[in-house]
Structure 1
């Protein structure tokens, strides 16, 4: 069978950077890229949203010597040419035998008829996934397993650590809370493991990562006797969704209140499940004041210069922190600290960050496989409620 000559459009490279490997199918087919596609990638690499995907595509092209790039065609006519027109001109000028343009651009698909060029769509498109999404906390069956990860054996998750494999055939119950899914149970296993100091948890909205982290933090700080943790810190970067609220009166806790009201609601819910009077001023959970000796909410800007010891630190919405802020925060942590880093790299509100360049993703990218660190992605059929489930399944 003769080799097929595939010519790739920009949108195919962006929608799935692995399209080159898929279409080549070993050594069965040839891959060609028009010069105009390279110039379009050059423009798109500065896009905050598409930058990481474009970087992947560029890396693949740069390291693949088997790819042929068509030379540019210069417009000597008076008519204005669009990038699509230039791509078609470059294909025609190449005199390639039976080229097949692979594109999901329907207008370009129509234009190929005028040039008598074969055209195919690329259906195997996948959304970009960050490191914190790609590494789910489970090791592949092939190769050496990642330290402090899980693998499935006969339907049972097994924790892989330096001390050996440990089947997780039991269900945790912490502060009166039982996990809804096996992944929530494994997240609790990591947060309660005395050999793991730093845990990162990635999930979409509604899978309970903050609620589980608060339950484990209360247990470690208020109940567990064989550790030195006696206080909970909650650190949260402040980025508003929509219109800005402007100046807010009051002290730090008053200013933070609109951004962390959900934290108070979750703590009240845990308090109703099992009393946690020591974290409230005067023992009253109906007030919006926490006992600063036991529970403190910190803006990220106040962390520099602090020395955190013998405490549990919950970093919420870590995807809105920069790499510099993440390093500054984690280097504040001394002896006796347990840290839970929570977030979703698909919900970046910070306009200067993206799915790849954010604090949560940098933690997973740099610390994966390190001693004392573990990561897990929460998933499953049950989340916050039926409306959240509907939104997540629909892909809204």
Structure 2
């Protein structure tokens, strides 16, 4: 039996194609949702773009009939803009205020009550990215759920970029003798991806082990090409950091993604690799470092000063790492160094969108706060001869409607894991300090 899904505004603003994501079921858009979308359509950010996209989709469907009567979708479902289930009495008894959220709840509740009076009632579900709306729906006795179609993978199955395999010690000896192994020789049930790292351990229990990297064609296991020498004074402190540096310094891997908790060294490793490639090897013309401006308090417009002064609080973590790498002694020295070099540019992500960026080493920090569309916009702007590094902690998201499995960083990790042009590693061990690691684990 088909179901009825009532969509909250944030679902459509998050994914304009959500109206097509419910198969052959009935999709209801409350009239108040159209009002909220209309109020967002003039915005210059992603919300405005999605609001305009939804408006165009609905306008196109309007040519097939009356939206308030229902439009049959290609996959067999029915889309309807609801005008007749707006009674607010039941919701008002519980929550009082006639807010837009409560008006949407009222539509879902009225549908639910109507269906319960039928011999064969259909299930009614409110779909919302807003946690509190889902909680209020539960209080009203309504089924409520998050919009799940944008989730790339289950949280427990997110690609880590590294696999540990227990083998007979003779296999490890064979690798050290011939400096490669055929993937087929391991007889693995799981599939290895290009540029994935494999740790071989002795199944007999000895300390014998080997660290390997899957070749670009995915058929061979090869040794790491880069030694563990210091990169701008930074040396890998654990296996995952060494894997990260391998990817960061490999010229044949133009897309690198790094994930991990705070203090695992993501930003420091990426900056050190970028400085080596730009300043020492001159492989790239410029090092471009950017972060999305997702405020946890007041927005950037509230801060005093010109653009650079406004941006400084958001970019300070980058400057902190640069000060460490350049070993500056006084406050303000790093600004003089960057001004003198001219090849290092620190920007907010707002100012690099829409550009074509050739021949540069690009670092995007805090990429977990990007949506799928935003990350596509950025990666698709990378020009010829550039390398881009996306990094962040999927568990530490400031965006109101993104989570660990629906954010842009996780999306890129999962979609590119089979591509030879990309590599990924999840950093697990904190190296900032014992206190920082303990805080990341306990708090």
TM-score by length of 1: 0.62
SS of the counterpart of 1:285? Answer: helix
Structure 1 residue 290, shift from structure 2 partner: 4.0
How far apart, CA to CA, are the structure 2 residues paired with 1:82 and 1:309? 54
Find out whether 1:254 has 2:278 as its counterpart: no
Find out whether 1:167 has 2:223 as its counterpart: yes
Partner of 2:191: 144
Partner of 2:7: none
Find out whether 1:372 has 2:424 as its counterpart: no
Question: Judging changes above 3 Å, is the alpha-carbon distance between structure 1 residues 267 and 41 closer, same or farther for their aligned structure 2 residues?
Answer: farther
Structure 1 residue 207, shift from structure 2 partner: 0.4
Question: Judging changes above 3 Å, is the alpha-carbon distance between structure 1 residues 212 and 40 closer, same or farther for their aligned structure 2 residues?
Answer: farther
Unaligned ranges ≥5, structure 1: 1-35, 52-80, 84-127, 276-280
Cα contact 2:159–2:414 (8 A) shared by 1: no
Unaligned ranges ≥5, structure 2: 1-115, 117-121, 134-138, 142-152, 165-187, 202-208
2:440 to 358, 371, 392: 392
Find out whether 1:328 has 2:398 as its counterpart: no
Partner of 2:321: 266
Structure 1 residue 367, shift from structure 2 partner: 1.1
Find out whether 1:198 has 2:261 as its counterpart: no
Cα contact 1:233–1:314 (8 A) shared by 2: yes
Structure 1 residue 214, shift from structure 2 partner: 0.3
1:208 to 245, 265, 278: 265
How far apart, CA to CA, are the structure 1 residues paired with 2:366 and 2:360? 19
Partner of 2:239: 182
Partner of 1:46: 128
Question: Judging changes above 3 Å, is the alpha-carbon distance between structure 1 residues 174 and 187 closer, same or farther for their aligned structure 2 residues?
Answer: same
How far apart, CA to CA, are the structure 2 residues paired with 1:317 and 1:257? 15
Structure 1 residue 148, shift from structure 2 partner: 1.1
Structure 1 residue 253, shift from structure 2 partner: 2.1
Structure 1 residue 243, shift from structure 2 partner: 5.0
Structure 1 residue 292, shift from structure 2 partner: 7.9
Structure scoring higher RCO (CA < 8 A, sep ≥ 6) equals: 1
Partner of 1:14: none
TM-score by length of 2: 0.56
How far apart, CA to CA, are the structure 1 residues paired with 2:409 and 2:124? 26
Deviations 1:170-193 (A, max 9, x none): 424211110111110110001111
Cα contact 1:231–1:311 (8 A) shared by 2: yes
Question: Judging changes above 3 Å, is the alpha-carbon distance between structure 1 residues 50 and 383 closer, same or farther for their aligned structure 2 residues?
Answer: farther
How far apart, CA to CA, are the structure 1 residues paired with 2:193 and 2:371? 26
